[in-house]
Amino acid sequence: LVPPTPVLPAPAGTDPLAVLGVPGEINLDHAASAPCARAAADAVAELLPWYASVHRGAGALSRRCTLAYERARQTVGDFVGARAGDHVVFTRNTTDALNLLARALPAGTTVVTFAGEHHANLLPWPRGSVRLPVPASPAEAVRALDAALGELRRVPAGRPAPTPAGPPVLVAVTGASNVTGERWPVAELARVAHRHAARIVVDAAQLAPHVPVDLTALDVDYLALSGHKLYAPFGAGVLVGRGDWLDAAPPYLIGGGATSHVGAGTHEVRWSTGPARHEAGTPNLLGAVALAAVCAALTEADRPALHAREQALLTRLRDGLAALPHVVELRTFGPDAPRVGIVSFVVAGRDSAEVAARLAAEHRIGLRDGLFCAHPLARRLLTEAAARSGRRDLPPTALRASIGLGSTVADVDRLLAALRDW
C-alpha cells in the first residue's frame, strides 16, 4: 500500500499532545470539549486520502479503513485496560455509551446511582433505579453504597434466598465530577459493588482526560468516555466492558452491520455478537481513529508529569479564587479532596451568565456558566455554598473553569485578574 499524502497542513512542532487553538483565545472550558490534539489532527490527515467504506468494501482503500477502525478499537481498549471478554463498542459519546448500556441491562436490573451524577448518568436508567443522596465525603459514598446494596440484597421474609448472582444490580458512578472536578473512590465503590454481586459502570468522561483509567486495575465492569473531551474531535466515544450482557441484549442500533443473517421472513434475523451488534450503520472511522491516536499518545506520554503540571495550575487557580472575597467555590467533599482540573464557583451579587459573557467579550476567556447538565448537584452545591459563605447574594447558576493540556499559568492568571474587577 502506498503511503498517503497528508491533506491537512501539519501543525508546528512535534509534540503529539500539543493542542490546536486560536492565538489570543483563552480556553478554560476543557470539561465541555477539549481542543484537538496534534495526534488526532495528524491521524485524520493521514487517513483522509484513504477515505472509503469500513467493513463493506473489498478495495484496497476500504480494507485499509477497516483495518484502521479495528486497530483503533484495539488501541482504545488497551488504553482503558480492557480484559479478554470485554467489548469495545464505538458510540457517539458518553451519553450514547451509557444509553447503550441502559438498553442492554438484563430484565429486572436495578441501577444504583448518586444524585450528584451528570444527567447522562442519571436519566437513562430504568424506572425503579435507586438514587442515593449526594454524600459529604468519598468515605460516606462507599458506606452509603454498601448500605444501599445490602438493603437491595436483603431477602424479604418468605422469599427464597437469592443465588450468588441474585437479581442484577448495576452501580453507575462518575470517575470525576463535571461540576467540582472531585474524584470519586471508584476502586472502593467497585469492591463494594462486587461484594454484593453487583456490577459497576464508571462514567469516565471527566476522569480519562486527566488520569490513567484502567478497568482491570480498578476492577470496574464498564466504562464510558467521550473523544471530544479527550482531545479528539466530536462524534466518537466508547462503551467498554463485559461482553455477556451486551451480547445477550437487543441491538442498540438496528440495521446493516449488526446482523449475521437476514432471511426473507419479516423476523428472520440473526444478530451479530461482539461490538458489531450495537454499531449498525456505517461507522465514524475518522472519529475512532482520532480518538485512538490520542489514546496512543497519552499512553506514551509521561502522565505523572502531565498530572503534576495540571495540579499546579489547578492549585494556582483555586488559591487565586479563594483569595477573592466575592468568589465562592462549589464543592461536594472537603476542600482538599483529590480532583481533576475543574473548578465551579460563583461571583457574589453577579449573574453567572453575565460574568461569562463579559469574560468572553472583554477578556477573550471562554468558560461555561449554568448548572452543567447536573441540575440536582449544582443546585444543592449552590445552596451549600450560600450556607458556607454566609452570603445571601449568590446567583442561582454557577461558572466553571476547566483546564487541560493546553492551559498555561498565563491563562489562569488572566482569569483571576479579570475576576478581580468584579
Residue ranges binding ligand PMP (CB under 6 A): 93-95, 118, 120-121, 174, 178, 203, 205-206, 226, 228, 373
Between residues 233 and 320, which has the closer beta carbon with respect to ligand PMP? 233
Cβ 310 to ligand PMP shortest distance, Å: 17
Contacts of 181 (CB under 8 A, 6+ apart): 31, 206, 314, 339, 340, 341, 342, 343, 402
Between residues 175 and 320, which has the closer beta carbon with respect to ligand PMP? 175
Write the DSSP symbol of residue 120. G
Between residues 218 and 416, which has the closer beta carbon with respect to ligand PMP? 218
Write the DSSP symbol of residue 208. T
336 burial class (0-12, 13-18, 19+ CB within 10 angstroms)? exposed
Cβ 181 to ligand PMP shortest distance, Å: 10
Instruction: Write the DSSP string, 272-310.
Output: --SGGGG--SS--HHHHHHHHHHHHHHHHS-HHHHHHHH
3-state helix, strand, coil in the chain (%, to 5): 40, 15, 45
Question: Can you tell me the distance from the alpha carbon of 231 to that of 293, in angstroms, rounded to the nearest whole number?
Answer: 10
Catalytic residue (choose from 36, 65, 295, 373):
373
- 295 given a catalytic annotation: no
Cβ 374 to ligand PMP shortest distance, Å: 8
Cell 453567572, located at residue: 352
Tell me the residue nearest to ligand PMP as measured from the CB.
Answer: 178
| Selection from 252, 216, 219 nearest residue 102 by Cα | 252
Between residues 169 and 223, which has the closer beta carbon with respect to ligand PMP? 223
Question: Can you tell me the distance from the alpha carbon of 114 to that of 152, in angstroms, rounded to the nearest whole number?
Answer: 15
Q: Which three cell numbers stand for residue 189?
A: 465503590
Cβ 279 to ligand PMP shortest distance, Å: 17
Cβ 224 to ligand PMP shortest distance, Å: 7
Between residues 182 and 221, which has the closer beta carbon with respect to ligand PMP? 182
Q: Residues with catalytic annotation?
A: 373
